[in-house]
């Protein structure tokens, strides 16, 4: 219904506008908080995103716990001690939902088993194997990584759309 | 499904963001507003297409956006309440020559902006020549000059 501002016929909906301005102020604060949280890494790439987990017999994995779909991330597997050829395996449940880019050092062999894919690399201490991975779909990923000598580590990654 | 979902998500997010940012952003009043709107379009493009650059994907995205836009027009034409939520309402800033400072402040505006609109649209020189100034839904300012007696 039109309101009269003297001779001006106009529908200001003042009550709605006042309420909406309050909503705007709240949402502005929320936006700033979301930005701060993003800078901290909750949406990927930042101090809160980075994590390290240690599995059995000294196997260590550095990874980003928060990543975004179609954005690449690195998983770095650190093998304790030893020399020569060693195997690092990643479960196929994770690999089916991601794209593997570069693996460094380059594996001499890649073997696909029903539940995992094994990458054979030349290990020289300190041995880091870096997997560049691009998740394809949003979701919560539970990842298992195995290494030679019965070592195993598990971690969880949250992938945003 | 993915292209439609992406387009819908971006449309709704931008709708909420632009509504929350205030009327004047849409009017591209300042250089910052203009640059902001320019860059937003670049940011959203990749988010909608992803790695799919096919013609089919392009068709689906455009079709989704146009359909949602038409649908929102239809809904807002039938509901004044929804129209206000989606498109806002005009706000009188100068009433019978009197500047409503509390409304100016709430709209993050200054009297200078009203004077600029008065000069641009009506060729007016002073504030006392303005009878009404209305901040329209588009973010622009309409100026109604006082009639000379």
Contacts 24+ apart (CB under 8 A), B68-71: B68/B7, B68/B8, B68/B11, B69/B11
Closest chain B residue to A8, measured at CA: B132
**How close is the nearest chain A Cα to the Cα of B66, in Å?**
23
> Over the stretch B18-76, which tens digit does the pLDDT of each residue have?
888 877 766 766 788 778 888 888 888 888 888 788 898 888 889 999 999 999 999 99
Q: Which of A1, A2, A6, A8 is best to mutate for the B interface (most B CBs within 10 A)? A: A8
Please answer whether residues A59 and A87 qualify as being in contact, where contact means their C-beta atoms are separated by less than 8 angstroms: no
Strands (E), chain A: 3-5, 8-10, 50-54, 60-64, 66-68, 73-79, 84-91, 98-104, 109-112, 116-123, 127-135, 139-147, 151-160
The two structure tokens encoding residue A127:
């041995």
- The ipTM is 0.71
Between B25 and A159, the higher pLDDT residue:
A159
The two structure tokens encoding residue A18:
């006042």
Domain ranges of chain A: 50-160
Contact assignment for A17 to B91 by CB distance below 8 Å: yes
Task: Look at the block and give the residue holding tokens 């005009």.
Answer: B90
Contact assignment for B20 to A28 by CB distance below 8 Å: yes
pLDDT at B7 exceeding the cut of 80: yes
Which of A11, A23, A28 minimises the CB distance to B89?
Answer: A11
The two structure tokens encoding residue A123:
């290990």
Q: What is the pLDDT of residue A1?
A: 42
pLDDT band at B149 (very low <50, low <70, confident <90, very high): very low
Please tell me the class of the A50-160 domain.
mainly beta
- Contact residues, chain A to chain B, C-beta under 8 Å: 5-6, 8, 10-13, 16-17, 20-21, 23-24, 27-28, 31, 70
Q: Is the pTM of this model over 0.80?
A: no
Over residues A25-41, mean pLDDT: 91
Distance of alpha carbon A80 from the chain centroid: 25
Please, where are the H alpha helices in chain B? 2-21, 23-26, 31-49, 55-78, 80-87, 101-106, 111-117
Write down the mean pLDDT value for chain A. Answer: 88
Distance of alpha carbon B29 from the chain centroid: 11
Report which of A141, A145, A142, A146 is spatially closest to residue A160, judged by C-alpha positions: A141
Q: What is the pLDDT of residue B143?
A: 94
Report which of B98, B101, B103 is spatially closest to residue B23, judged by C-alpha positions: B103
What is the crossing angle of helices B2-21 and B80-87, to 10°?
Answer: 80
The two structure tokens encoding residue A100:
């593997």
DSSP 3-state assignment of A15?
helix
């Amino acid at each position: 219904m039109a309101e009269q501002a003297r001779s001006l016929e106009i529908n200001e909906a003042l009550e709605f506008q006042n309420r909406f301005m309050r909503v705007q102020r709240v949402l502005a604060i929320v936006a700033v908080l979301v930005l701060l949280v993003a800078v901290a890494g909750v949406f990927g790439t930042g101090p809160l995103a980075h994590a390290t987990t240690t599995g059995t017999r000294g196997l260590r994995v550095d990874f980003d716990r928060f990543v975004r779909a179609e954005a690449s991330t690195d998983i770095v597997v650190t093998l304790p001690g030893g020399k020569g050829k060693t195997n690092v395996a990643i479960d196929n449940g994770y690999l089916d939902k991601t794209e593997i880019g570069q693996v460094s050092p380059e594996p001499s062999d890649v073997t696909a088993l029903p539940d995992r894919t094994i990458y054979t690399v030349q290990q020289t201490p300190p041995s880091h194997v870096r997997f560049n991975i691009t998740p394809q779909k949003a979701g919560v990923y539970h990842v298992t990584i195995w290494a030679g000598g019965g070592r195993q580590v598990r971690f969880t990654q949250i992938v945003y759309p | 499904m993915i292209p439609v979902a992406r387009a819908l998500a971006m449309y709704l997010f931008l709708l909420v963001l632009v509504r929350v940012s205030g009327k004047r952003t849409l009017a591209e009043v300042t250089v910052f507003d203009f640059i902001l709107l320019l860059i937003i379009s670049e940011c959203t493009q990749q988010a909608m297409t992803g790695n799919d650059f096919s013609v089919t994907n392009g068709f689906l995205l455009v079709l989704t956006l146009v359909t949602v836009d038409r649908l929102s027009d239809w809904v807002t034409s039938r509901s004044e309440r929804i129209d206000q939520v989606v498109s806002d309402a005009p706000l009188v800033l100068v009433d019978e020559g009197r500047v409503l400072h509390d409304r100016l402040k709430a709209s993050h505006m200054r009297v200078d902006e009203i004077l600029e609109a008065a000069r641009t649209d009506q060729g007016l020189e002073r504030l006392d020549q303005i009878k009404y100034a209305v901040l329209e839904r588009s973010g622009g300012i309409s100026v109604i000059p006082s009639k000379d007696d």
